[in-house]
Structure 1
Amino acid sequence: MTNLVDRPSLGRGDRRRAQLVQAGVELLCEGGWPAVTTRAVAARANTNPGVIHYHFGGLPGLHCAVAHQTCELVISPLVTMFLDAPDTRTALRTMRDALPQTASDDHAMHLAVELIAGATRDSTLGSALGAKLKEVRTEIADHVRIRHPDWTRRRAAGMATLIIAFMDGLVLHHSV
């Protein structure tokens, strides 16, 4: 029988997991996906590689967690700007005005590029990015429907897709 007293508490395990993901994000920003190895992440987090296998089931699971956190860091601030604005026109203007600053943030831009590059090379990372983008589109579409209750779900979903494309395009144009 397992001695439950000697097992780490849920809070401690969650903190360790978050620490490992943060170490992975830092390494991703510094050296791209090739830098995010079990040994490098474990060294950065001052632990042993076995902890990564315990929390993530290995490197692919760690990469997915890092990709998810990277999505949160890169995408969520822009989505929050949109959702917090009083109306759609103001939201788009606010995002447009904020993007030059976002695009000049080397850290965020490097993470965005690595996220896309990783998604094109690894189907698991591509699925993680796709799931996050779908979640964001749904969130924006729901918000658009609240602002325009007479719109169909399809029309709101189409507008959400255009808003995401608007964000992508502005980031691209401001980063080059």
Structure 2
Amino acid sequence: MITAAAELIGERGWSAVSTRTLAERAGVGPGLVHYHFASLQALRIEAAAQMMSAVAEGATARLETAADAEEGLALIIRDLDRFSGDDPMSRLFIEAYLASTRDEELRRAISGVLELFRSRLTAWLATAGVEAPEETARVLGAALDGVMLHRALDPGLTSGVVEPMLRRLLAPTPVSDRTDGHEEQRQGDR
């Protein structure tokens, strides 16, 4: 039922997944849907969270094979190329994000997936010696999500375009380039 719900969300949209269509797709009686889940919404949330977790886990698993931060970034960004923006998984992400703006339980489930992804990314970035690993993981995670969501509007947003730009996030900042954020403003005020 989880797989059937995820497929239907990606094909038809969040609210188009009814008990009847889900039961037909899963090859079960409608009563079985409510026997295993408190509500249809609970099933949709579980399906979205599981599929999103699988994508996040797959991406972070690739990092373990990377020799350094640059290679890891390349692997995780290239993995996004399998999502065209018009595929069922991309649409599931889009539908779930949109629905989460109106559903606190779904928002918490997606936030849990993001938290797990960021914590794994943070640990890997720290091991790779990247400055400010937690902050970098937050920005990198948001950028990767954005790339996946934007592909529906801009299919040319591939790893070849994105990777060189995001690589800058992992580049060390020379000590001479670091400021407290106020130096440039003070000079501009003179």
Q: Does 1:116 align with 2:93?
A: no
Measured after TM superposition, the shift of residue 51 of structure 1 is 1.6
Structure 1 residues 116 and 74: CA distance shift in structure 2, 3 A: farther
Measured after TM superposition, the shift of residue 133 of structure 1 is 0.3
Quick one: distance in 2 between partners of 1:52 and 1:173? 33
Quick one: distance in 1 between partners of 2:28 and 2:106? 25
The residue type equivalent to 1:34 in the other structure is S
- Per the alignment, residue 133 of structure 2 pairs with 156
Quick one: distance in 2 between partners of 1:104 and 1:60? 24
Q: Which moved more, 1:132-141 or 1:102-111?
A: 102-111
Quick one: distance in 1 between partners of 2:145 and 2:104? 21
CA RMSD of aligned residues (A): 2.3
Unmatched runs of 5 consecutive residues or more in structure 1: 1-19
The residue type equivalent to 1:138 in the other structure is S
SS of equivalent residue, structure 2 residue 15: helix
- Per the alignment, residue 65 of structure 1 pairs with 46
Percentage identity across paired residues of the two chains: 29
Structure 1 residues 126 and 49: CA distance shift in structure 2, 3 A: same
Give runs of aligned pairs for residues 68-107 of structure 1, distance below 5 A.
Answer: 68-103=49-84, 106-107=87-88
* Contact 1:74–1:112 (CA under 8 A) maintained in structure 2: no
Quick one: distance in 2 between partners of 1:143 and 1:79? 8
User: What is the aligned counterpart of 2:19 among 35, 38, 58?
Assistant: 38
Measured after TM superposition, the shift of residue 22 of structure 1 is 0.8
Quick one: distance in 1 between partners of 2:87 and 2:98? 16
Q: How many residues align?
A: 153
Q: Kindly name which structure, 1 or 2, has the bigger radius of gyration based on alpha carbons.
A: 2
* Contact 2:63–2:124 (CA under 8 A) maintained in structure 1: no
**TM, length-normalised to structure 2:** 0.69
**Structure with greater proportional helix content:** 1
- Per the alignment, residue 25 of structure 1 pairs with 6
* Contact 2:56–2:113 (CA under 8 A) maintained in structure 1: no
- Per the alignment, residue 12 of structure 1 pairs with none
Quick one: distance in 2 between partners of 1:36 and 1:173? 24
Unmatched runs of 5 consecutive residues or more in structure 2: 155-190
Quick one: distance in 2 between partners of 1:86 and 1:102? 25
Quick one: distance in 1 between partners of 2:47 and 2:68? 33
Q: Which fold has the larger relative contact order, with Cα–Cα distance below 8 Å and residues 6 or more apart in sequence?
A: 2
**TM, length-normalised to structure 1:** 0.74
The residue type equivalent to 1:156 in the other structure is P
